């Protein structure tokens, strides 16, 4: 991994007389030069609006934007690039699902199931949706060891359950969640499942078909990409019933003074001029990860670092760690502690 450090120009600076060590990757990652160059190249060589012009720059920008969508689709194992919607990040992706699929499909008496370890971005949209629709919000408990109590799923997932929204990896405890088991139980009662993959996608290979999730959201800035860009995977079979999240330019197939007909997904959910350069930058981040990251080797490297951190923290007085430490020693990438 040491050879990759040279690709990150921000790490060339020093703190005092020592090289900068950056530990805040759970909040945001740094960007390799290749991603920075992709942004610069777009603005210097290809900057134009997309899907709306036939001139050279517009066609070039559109091609780069859609190439980025293809790269992301391949990276997460989507069956088709149309299953990838560009967003501002995980938060917007989850809100899109709540405001479109959720408002169309939930009613009083229905149930939404989330876990007690969710990020606010995967809690607040469902709180609001439950209040607006009359649905009930239920929670998967967290055990004292910092794991989800999956043994409670059979009593929590019922015929009333319409959606399960769960993190793939906790941004607080580092806990890895068995999404496949949850998806299987959700689908058994006809419910849909949304996965918050913001914290997992930089650390492990994601395959949406293997997870069998219906929705999956993540942010570019946690996986070496720019800020202000992310993606939402939506299983193709759900596209037809989704209304627009916002209305405006770029999503209209036909319009008159009384009504409008919408484009297909993903364009239907990407109103206005999108973050084109950022999408291209996210595509470059995917290229970088494909070229330089072996997830099996990364897992070993992160486990070694996590073990070292846990052992070091355990030797310090007045330090208390949280989370499933034995699991984290094997495949963790985050350690939570207080002094």
Of 249, 265, 289, the residue at which a domain comes to its end is 289
Is residue 219 included in any domain, yes or no? yes
Is residue 207 included in any domain, yes or no? yes
193 and 304 inside one domain: no
Is residue 22 included in any domain, yes or no? no
Rounded distance between C-alpha atoms, residue 310 and residue 313, angstroms: 5
Of 271, 289, 307, the residue at which a domain comes to its end is 289
- Could you list the residue range(s) of the whole structural domain that residue 89 is in? 42-289
163 and 227 inside one domain: yes
The two tokens of residue 294 are 């072996």
150-177: average pLDDT: 97
Whats the size of the chain, residue-wise? 339
Residue 188 has pLDDT above 80, yes or no: yes
260 and 182 inside one domain: yes
Phi and psi (nearest 5°) for 187? -65, -25
Number of separate domains in the chain: 2
307 and 245 inside one domain: no
How much is the pLDDT for 241?
85
271 and 300 inside one domain: no
Is residue 10 included in any domain, yes or no? no
Q: How confident is the model at residue 185 (pLDDT cuts 50, 70, 90)?
A: very high
CA end-to-end span of the chain: 30
Is residue 34 included in any domain, yes or no? no
276 and 305 inside one domain: no
CATH number at residue 272: 3.40.640.10
Q: Where are the beta strands (DSSP E) in 20-118?
A: 84-87, 111-115
249 and 313 inside one domain: no
Q: Residues 224-274: pLDDT tens digits?
A: 999 999 999 999 999 998 999 999 999 999 999 999 999 999 999 999 999
For residue 198, give the nearest of 164, 215, 223 by alpha carbon. 223
Percent of the chain with pLDDT over 70: 100
pTM confidence score: 0.96
Most confident of 2-6, 130-134, 301-305, 333-337: 130-134
Residues 6 or more apart from 63 whose CB is under 8 A from it?
A: none
Q: Which of 10-24, 60-74, 113-127, 207-221 has the least mean pLDDT?
A: 10-24
**Strand duo 14-15 + 18-19: pairing:** antiparallel
304 and 258 inside one domain: no
Phi and psi (nearest 5°) for 102? -60, -50
131 and 253 inside one domain: yes
274-296: average pLDDT: 98
Q: Which of 76-80, 172-176, 327-331 has the least mean pLDDT?
A: 327-331
Q: How confident is the model at residue 117 (pLDDT cuts 50, 70, 90)?
A: very high
Q: Residues 68-97: pLDDT tens digits?
A: 999 999 999 999 999 999 999 999 999 999
Provide the CA 1 distance to its chain's centre, in angstroms.
Answer: 24
**Sign of the dihedral defined by the CA atoms of residues 278, 279, 282, 283, in that order:** negative
CA atoms within 13 A on the CB side of 163: 30
How much is the pLDDT for 7?
97
How much is the pLDDT for 332?
85
138 and 274 inside one domain: yes
Is residue 306 included in any domain, yes or no? yes
């Amino acid at each position: 991994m040491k050879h990759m450090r040279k690709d990150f120009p921000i790490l060339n600076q020093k703190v005092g007389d020592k090289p900068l060590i950056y530990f805040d990757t759970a909040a945001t990652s740094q960007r390799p030069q290749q991603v920075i160059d992709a942004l610069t190249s777009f603005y210097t060589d290809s900057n134009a609006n997309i899907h709306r012009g036939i001139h050279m720059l517009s066609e070039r920008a559109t091609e780069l934007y859609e190439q980025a969508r293809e790269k992301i689709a391949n990276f997460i194992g989507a069956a088709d690039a149309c299953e990838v919607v560009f967003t501002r990040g995980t938060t917007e992706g989850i809100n899109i699902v709540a405001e479109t699929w959720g408002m169309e499909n939930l009613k009083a008496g229905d149930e939404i199931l989330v876990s007690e370890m969710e990020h606010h971005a995967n809690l607040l949209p469902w709180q609001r949706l439950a209040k607006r629709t009359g649905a009930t919000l239920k929670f998967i408990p967290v055990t004292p060891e910092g794991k989800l109590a999956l043994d409670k799923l059979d009593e929590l997932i019922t015929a009333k359950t319409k959606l399960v929204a769960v993190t793939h990896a906790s941004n607080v405890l580092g806990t890895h969640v068995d999404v496949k088991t949850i998806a299987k139980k959700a689908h058994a009662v006809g419910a849909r499942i949304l996965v918050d993959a913001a914290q997992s996608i930089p650390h492990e290979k994601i395959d949406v078909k293997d997870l069998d999730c219906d929705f999956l959201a993540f942010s570019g800035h946690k996986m070496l990409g720019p800020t202000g860009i992310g993606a939402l995977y939506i299983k193709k079979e759900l596209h037809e019933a989704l209304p627009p999240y916002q209305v405006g330019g770029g999503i209209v197939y036909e319009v008159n003074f009384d009504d409008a007909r919408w484009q297909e997904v993903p364009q239907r959910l990407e109103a206005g001029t999108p973050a084109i350069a950022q999408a291209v930058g996210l595509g470059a981040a995917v290229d970088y990860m494909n070229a330089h990251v072996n997830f099996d080797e990364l897992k070993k490297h992160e486990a070694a670092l996590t073990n070292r951190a846990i052992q070091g923290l355990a030797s310090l007085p007045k330090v208390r760690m949280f989370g499933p430490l034995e699991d984290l020693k094997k495949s963790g990438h985050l350690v939570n502690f207080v002094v």
